[in-house]
Amino acid sequence: MNKNIQLIEEIIAVVLLLATMFPLLHYGELAGIPVPRHFFRGEINAWGDRTVFLYLAIFAIALYGLLFFVQKHPRLINMPRQSGEENPVLATVIGHALKMWVMAVFAWISLSLYLLAVGKLARPLSGVTCALLAAMVIHLVFLFLRQRKA
């Protein structure tokens, strides 16, 4: 994969990680405001306090760190019919893309929870979350198939 594309994906992943932390910038304003923490069939069925954003940011940072570590050590990735050691390029390409898409999902969830909490969003937009997840799977499968042909 082109080094410029990898750099762009890294920048996007970092920006999205920062977007995940956006509600933490407004943490003081969220005191006493209920924050959705669980959904069922597109409806909010459990509420929490502003610490939901702390847990979400901590989990996103930990996952980003794990994906970064695995990306730097491709031999740890078990690819179908290939080990990361046999094809480190595939492991690196998948690692970059996966990190970017996972951070996009976390950024969307964090921002939509914030908008729901402050009343700027009437109901959760679960279709956007599903579309992000579908785009992630399609992109990763495309990269996997393209790298295997190369």
Digit-coded pLDDT (tens) for 97-150: 888 888 888 889 888 999 999 989 877 777 888 888 899 899 888 888 887 776
Task: Collapse the DSSP code of 78 into the 3-class scheme (helix H, G, I; strand E, B; otherwise coil) and give the result.
Answer: strand
Domain tally, the chain: 1
Tens digit of each residue's pLDDT (9 = 90 or more) over 37-85: 888 887 889 999 999 999 999 998 898 888 888 777 777 666 555 544 5
Q: Which domain holds residue 112?
A: 3-149
- Residue 45 has what DSSP assignment? E
Q: How do 82-83 and 43-48 pair as beta strands?
A: unpaired
DSSP class per residue in 11-24: HHHHHHHHHHTHHH
Single pTM value for the model: 0.79
Strand locations in 1-150 (E): 35-40, 43-48, 78-79, 82-83
